[in-house]
């Protein structure tokens, strides 16, 4: 059975991280951007992370520049922005593509496991979210308009499972 534990991604330091290190955790995987109208969601994502991390929860941020060029910076710029503006302590990975020919394999899996509205698979914009259960399978997909804190109930359900 395919799940997120079979994938890896580079972190902002360029090191490959096997997502198996998150085995048995509940994860919220988000494509992020520093210059988007939804960028303030970083604040709520950090709140969720700090609230639930000791219960086996993590937020994984994946910067993406495919929507309006809203993540143009290099890895150092992204890391500095996240620290200085939002005091982000959850893992931020290297910039990836979430749609198109060069879609990161993790996102190919996430989109196929949890299609969007009317069965569409493409990510529509920055700050789309995928909630993953402890088994590594996708539980639910949320669009950019869903505030991270609105997902709290689903996170708590998965943490108790």
Domain that holds residue 17: 4-160
pLDDT digits (tens, 9 = 90+) for 36-90: 988 989 999 999 999 999 999 999 999 999 998 999 889 999 999 999 999 999 9
Could you tell me which of 123, 135, 127 has the C-alpha nearest to residue 151? 127
HSE toward the beta carbon, residue 103, CA cutoff 13 A: 15
Using an 8 Å Cβ cutoff, are 30 and 63 in contact? no
Kindly tell me if the per-residue pLDDT of 94 is higher than 60. yes
pLDDT digits (tens, 9 = 90+) for 113-136: 877 666 667 788 899 999 999 999
Using an 8 Å Cβ cutoff, are 71 and 95 in contact? yes
Could you tell me which of 93, 109, 100, 87 has the C-alpha nearest to residue 7? 109
Query: How many domains does the chain fold into?
Result: 1
Predicted TM-score (pTM) of the model is 0.94
Q: How far is the C-alpha of 137 from the C-alpha of 153, rounded, in Å?
A: 18
Calculate what percentage of the chain has a pLDDT beyond 70: 96
CATH number reported for the structural domain that contains residue 27 in this entry: 3.40.30.10
Among 9, 33, 36, 48, the active-site one is 36
Query: Is 64 a catalytic site residue?
Result: no
Using an 8 Å Cβ cutoff, are 89 and 13 in contact? no
């Amino acid at each position: 059975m395919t799940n997120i534990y079979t994938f890896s991604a580079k972190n902002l330091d360029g090191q490959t991280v096997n997502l198996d290190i998150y085995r048995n955790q509940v994860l919220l995987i988000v494509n992020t951007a520093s210059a988007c109208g939804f960028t303030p969601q970083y604040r709520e994502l950090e709140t969720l992370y700090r609230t639930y991390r000791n219960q086996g929860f993590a937020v994984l941020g994946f910067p993406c520049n495919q929507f309006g060029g809203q993540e143009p910076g290099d890895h150092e710029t992204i890391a500095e922005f996240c620290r200085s503006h939002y005091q982000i302590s959850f893992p931020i990975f290297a910039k990836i593509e979430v749609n198109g020919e060069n879609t990161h394999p993790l996102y190919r899996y996430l989109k196929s496991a949890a299609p969007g509205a009317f069965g569409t698979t493409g990510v529509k914009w920055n700050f789309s979210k995928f909630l993953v259960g402890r088994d590594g399978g996708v539980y639910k997909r949320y669009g950019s308009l869903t505030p991270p804190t609105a997902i709290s109930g689903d996170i708590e359900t998965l943490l108790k499972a």
